[in-house]
Each structure stands twice: as structure tokens, then as C-alpha cells.
Structure 1
Amino acid sequence: MSLRADQATIDIRLVRELVDSQFPQWAGLPLEPVGSGGMCNAIYRLGSDLSVRLSLWSPGVDVVRREQAKLSSLAPFLPVAIPSVEAIGSPTDAFPGEWSVHRWLTGTHPTPGALVDPHGLAIDLAAFVGAFRRIDLPDRPPAYQGERRTRAPMDSMDSSTREAIGQLDGLIDTRAALASWEESLAAPYDGCEVWVHSDLMPSNLLVSTEGRLTAVLDFETSGRGDPACDLFPAWYLLPANVRGGFRAALDVDHATWLRGRGRVLSQALIVLRHFKDTNPAYANNARHAIGQVLAASRCRL
């Protein structure tokens, strides 16, 4: 599995070799790839109760161990299940980074436009984000550690966002996208930081057959940051008629809502630019989010 030239090539033979050689107690368990829809990790199901997670990029030193410590600290404060790391694998010549074995979490990824209980899911997502914001732990790593820490953190996204808009001329309404982005960019930010997941994409959410939130995945970029970082579901997932309920449940002010909308637009524009010719699934998700943001911008939502 590899989506871009600079990503690691991971296949079932490699994962089987890693598991069998380092964790012989699980060598006899069946192994199969999982279509997670994520861009950062390859996921394989191991037996009925476990999963194997390997980074598609070159992980930094102790990334997996830091995430393990973070997950164990956060879990008691959150209203739904989150991953738990059962074991950490060592680097090899074939895979030069640490990797992890997680407890399997039940549920399916929600699909925009096909939600069983959108109102209930909006309530669940707001409860999760609200609980996350109330966490007060002494270890306060920054979310998106590569993002410049300023009083106006979205400034660091401006150049790449404008570049993406320019390169998508003919595919999207670039004039509307630029106007929406500039409105979000101008939204004030008081510098207040809370705990945020920072990547609440549909591929990082699991729902039950009844459509309610059962688990949240991938906490690699979670930490302290702008509350706007956790408004992604409003445009990536939720239909417009329940978006206001999600906002009201979180008591989101106008400026934070605009910043959240801008973060979604920036991310979706960059994803569409990168994957429009190579990955239809990613491109379609990005188009959906862009369409929702631009429609909301016209309605001033």
C-alpha cells in the first residue's frame, strides 16, 4: 500500500513477517487489510480482537510510544472508546520505524449523505469534542506540532491554501473559495487553547448500526490548540440541517466557527489538489467538503 512516491510500501506479506517474528503469540491469527480511508497509516486486522497500525510516512523518534502514553492518559476523560496500544513493534530493515498492535474497535466509518441518525451523531460528536475541551492534564503537547505557534495560527496556512485555489481553477468555483478563505482568515482569535483531537475526519470515526458514535481513532496530532480544529465534522460529515445543532451544543462563537470552516476548506483544497488524478476516493471526499463550505459561506453559516 502506497499512495505517493515518498510513502512506505506496505503489504500483507511485510505485516505478516513483522507480526510473526516479533509477536509469536499472534502468529497463527488471520491477517487482512482494512480500508480505513486514512492518508497516514496502513491498518490490518489481526484475528478478531486486534489490529496492526503502520505509518505510511517515516515516523519520528518515539512517535508510537508518545501516542501510547497520550491515549492512556486521555481515555478516562472521553465518552466513547479510543484506541489502546497492546504492543509496540521494533524497526526492521524492511520497515524502518516502530509500529503498533491495537485493540480492535467495533463500528463502521460514517458516510456523508448516508447517516442513519444524523441528529444523534451530531449530539455524540459535540459531547466528544466538549469532553475533550474540558481535559486538564499537566502534559500539554501542541496539536499539529509543525504549525507555527502564533496568535493567528491560520496565517501559516495562507500561502498553501491560495496556491491550491489557483491550481484548481476549472474544478471548483475559485472566486467563491478565495472569498470564503479570506473571510475565515480574517476571523479573530484570542489565543485561547484547549485539548483538540484535530483530525475528526469520517475515516477517524466509528459508528454503530444505529448510527451513533462508538469510537474515535488516530490521536497522533491531538494536543492543545485552537478550538476551531475540532469542527471538521460540521462540513465533512454532517448534513446542513443538523449543523446548527452541533454548533449550538458546543456553544461555538462566530469567529471560531469561521476559523473552523476555513481549516476545513484549506485541508480539502490541498487534498483535492494532490489527489484529483490519483485517488478518486480522497478527491471525492475533498470535493464534498469544499461544496459544503462554499454553500455554507453563501448562507453565512
Structure 2
Amino acid sequence: MPKAHKYPYILYLAINNKRWNEQQQLELLCVNDKLEYKYKQCSTLTNLRYLNNHTSIRFISPVEPITRCHFADEKCMIEQAHKLFEKAATGVPENDIPALEPLKLDKIEMLGDKNSALKIDLIMNDVEIHNYTKARVTSIKGFSKDLSKPMKLVSQNINPRITIKSKYKINGNILVLPIRGEGELTMVLDNLKTRFSTTLKVEERDGNHFLSGDTIKLETQMDNVHIDMTNLFNGDKTLSESMLQVMNYNWRLLSDDLTPIINEALGNKVKELLLKFFKDIPYEDYFLAD
């Protein structure tokens, strides 16, 4: 019987009838259809990722407490997506995924477009997106048993409120009014509806199939956007309040220009996270055989 270990699903095994001593013991994470079991005897050593020049071996499992679904069971997939959001809020270190609450982006940059309402140069640094993992998934479609061709995956979710915070630097014109400043920016997006779409390709390695993603396209709709910016016009209170009033009254016009820039940066981040999640877990381990 495997002895207890501080990590769930870790076993100490005798391999090829040889009992390894404490320093030689190989740790592996067992794929388990019923993840409520704390331990499970593993009978094979397939799908292993070799680490540290093969001195240790780790068997990658689906993220606890994610369970398998049938391909046609969209309700089950939505339930697992919610579990994954909850888990991802504090991070998934076994898949090298940091805590996503808040979700962090290095920079969002918008250069002035002379044909838009926002004729500005805007740089947002140290961007944090709060409540991103609180989304309610409403649809997941596109996963397939047919691995001979790419899968077109589409997912939709609703988030009651997302807050974006960053450091900012801005210069230009908004609706013919000049604006300049450097300070802290806060954007609150209410009832955000997001549609994710991507094409997933299937790669075969060591007899198993793994997903890899291309670009991820995000499309969003929202009911309201409220913007606050500190230190506009070098802290001039009257000019700052007037400009923020104009911006928030015309939020929809402004968001039409700014939202695609944010969506592109967020899509690149989501792609990065998905590739980390997919790269070690065989596609076969996500779904039950029909």
C-alpha cells in the first residue's frame, strides 16, 4: 500500500520488481476517473514526462477536481469549466499556471487612430483584471472524437462585473477634447458577455494525442463601462472631473475603440495559459468513451 504523501495522488512504486529506496523513489500523478479517491494503484507507466535527465518521472493528471465528460454532454463540460475557473483563481502549479485572480498582463498599448473617437496614445502597464474567474460559462462547443482534423472550439460566458486596474500614460484627444496624464487607471465593466473562438490542432506524441492552439479571438459586449483616472492634467481637479464625465457619458463610443485592443492582449494571455494546460495532458484523458 502506498504510504501517505503531502501531495494528492502521489504514489511510491516498485518498478520492474525493484523496490526503490527513499532517494530513488519515483513520484507520479495517477490519472483517475474517480478523483475522489485519494490514492490509486497505477498499473502502467505510459504518458510519462521525464524530468531532470530521467532521474524522476512524473505522470501528469487532469487538474483536481476536474472529471471526464462524454463528448455530447455539454452540461458536464460547463460544470468542469466552472471547476477549472475556481481552481485557476489560486493557480495550478502542476501545469505551471499562476493564480489568475487577478489575471495579470504586462502591457496594453493603443496608438492614436486619426479616424476614431480616441485620437490618443495610451499605454497601460502592470495591468490587473479582477474577477475574471467569476465568469459563468453558458456554452462550450467544438470538441470532437474525430482527431483527423482541427477542432473549431467556441465558448461563451457572462461575467457580472470585471475591474481592470493599471498604471497609465495618455496623451491626445477624446472627442476633440485634449487629454493628458499619468497615474492610476480603473475601468469597471458591467455584465460582460464574452465569446471565445479558436482552432485546436491535434498533435501525436508517444501514442497519445495532445491539443495545441492557434490564435484565440475574443468578442465582447457589455452593459456599461465606468472609467476613473488619477492625476489627469497634472492633478487639475476641475479639468479631470470634466473629462471623466465626458468619457463616462460616451463610454460606448470609447469602448468600441479600446475594447478590441484589450481583447487582443487578453486573447494572447488565454492562449498562453491554454497551451500550458494542454501540453502534458493527453486529449484521451479529458473525455469518457461513449
TM-score using structure 2 length: 0.24
Structure scoring higher RCO (CA < 8 A, sep ≥ 6) equals 1
Q: Which has the higher helix share?
A: 1
TM-score using structure 1 length: 0.24
